[in-house]
Amino acid sequence: MNQIIIGALLGILGSLAGISFQTRLSWRQDRKTRKLEKLEELLSLASACVFGSLQKPCQKEEFKAMELHKLPETRIRVIACLYFPELKPSVATLTALTMLQAAGNTLRCDKLKGDEVADSTEKERDDLENRIVQAHGNLETEAEALCRRIEAS
């Protein structure tokens, strides 16, 4: 009789251990998948942000009417804060530069319309664009290393 009880208890403990192990393994895999998806979203938004800031002229009314919570720069910062704090400095640099570019585009539009606003020189604009592209490259490099670490974990 004791052997039956001991066998039943061992069976129950084994089942509980198996379920616990499976749950933990599944949770880790889900977490890894979610982080990789968020990293992909962050990089996609960063690219949209960069290439949008380099290509689109921005009208003054458009710039003033932008809803900050809808900007890709805002979404990138949120994702970095929630999922990848190690990317926050690179994200902050990139988003600050793209916002500066958007403001510069607005100033250039005003200048073309005859407003009395100081226009940055062509060299300064090119320098800013180069800094944006470099910041984007740095973010991609850091994200690539992070992706490898996530996949290895």
Asked if 136 contacts 95 with a C-beta cutoff of 8 angstroms, the reply is: no
Q: Do 150 and 29 meet the contact criterion of CB atoms below 8 Å apart? A: no
Exposure class string for 134-146: b at 16+ Cβ within 10 A, else e: ebbeebeebbeeb
How many distinct helices (H) and strands (E) make up the chain? 5, 0
The more confident residue out of 8 and 60 is: 8
Whole-number Å distance between alpha carbons of 150 and 153: 5
Q: What is the pLDDT of residue 117?
A: 45
Q: SS3 of 149, please?
A: helix
| Structure confidence by residue, pLDDT tens digits, 54-95 | 555 555 455 555 555 567 888 899 999 999 999 999 999 998
Q: CB of 46 within 8 A of CB of 98? A: no
Give yes or no for residue 144 having a pLDDT over 90. yes
